[in-house]
Amino acid sequence: MKSVFVNRGKLLIGLFVMLFSTSVLAESKSSLDPTWVKEDVNWSKYTKFLVHPLEIDRVAVLRPPWAEDDPKEWTLEIEDLQAIQAMFRDAMKEVLTADGGYPLVYAPGDDVLEVEVEILAIMPWIRPGSGNTKDGMQVTTLGTGEITASVEMRDSESRELLLMIAGEKAVGEEYKEFTLQNNVANVTNMFTSFAKRLRHAMDEVHGK
């Protein structure tokens, strides 16, 4: 039985490398690769998730290169950050628990995998609050911007670090008008995509 666990653990490592690598995500600007994975983890023991609220306390709002000389301050309102947290929470819950998936719990356990995601920086293509028109014309951008994020997965009881992911990710991959509706859709799709990759990796480990 131990060999099965080890093989499944190696399978999950391979899946994480595949699912989060730039080669698979070639259609998007991304460098969210696993930066470290603990060897010989019995991933198949985990059947539940403890997903922490999206960490945004230290997020920096960066100017894109073409706006470096903009004298105005680039900031996000607390309401915007809270909305991003809600989109992350809803996407993770919807994807991970769907169709007999993996329950989200709020306490550690032997079969609980802990997931912590932090957004370190956000680079919107247009200064927040400046509107979405220029010279009376609607602005169209390739996505909403970019984020820099980190992901840590731990054994919830021991708090031992099992996997780390860090890097940049494009928010949106199509040219669309820079509107609130499109920006919300881009952020939601990004979180949903992450949740689906995590769900797929765990399904493979459990033979689903």
Summarize pLDDT for 99-135 with one digit per residue, the tens.
999 999 999 999 999 999 999 999 999 998 776 656 5
CA distance 24 to 29: 11
pLDDT mean over 148-154: 94
CA distance 63 to 164: 27
Structural domain range at position 137:
2-205
E strands, 99-202, where?
A: 112-124, 133-134, 137-138, 140-142, 145-155, 161-171, 175-177
Which pLDDT value is given to residue 187?
95
Which pLDDT value is given to residue 32?
56
Can you read off the two tokens belonging to residue 83?
Answer: 């909305």
State pTM to two decimals. Answer: 0.83
Helix (H) or strand (E) holding 198: helix 180-205
201 near 19, Cβ under 8 Å? Answer: yes
Can you read off the two tokens belonging to residue 158?
Answer: 């021991």
Can you read off the two tokens belonging to residue 88?
Answer: 């992350």
95 near 199, Cβ under 8 Å? Answer: yes
Can you read off the two tokens belonging to residue 86?
Answer: 């809600």
- Residue 173: give its domain's CATH number: 3.40.50
Q: What does pLDDT average to over the chain?
A: 84
Does the pLDDT at position 144 exceed 90?
yes
Q: How many domains does the chain have?
A: 1
Q: Which residues pair with 206 in a beta bridge?
A: none
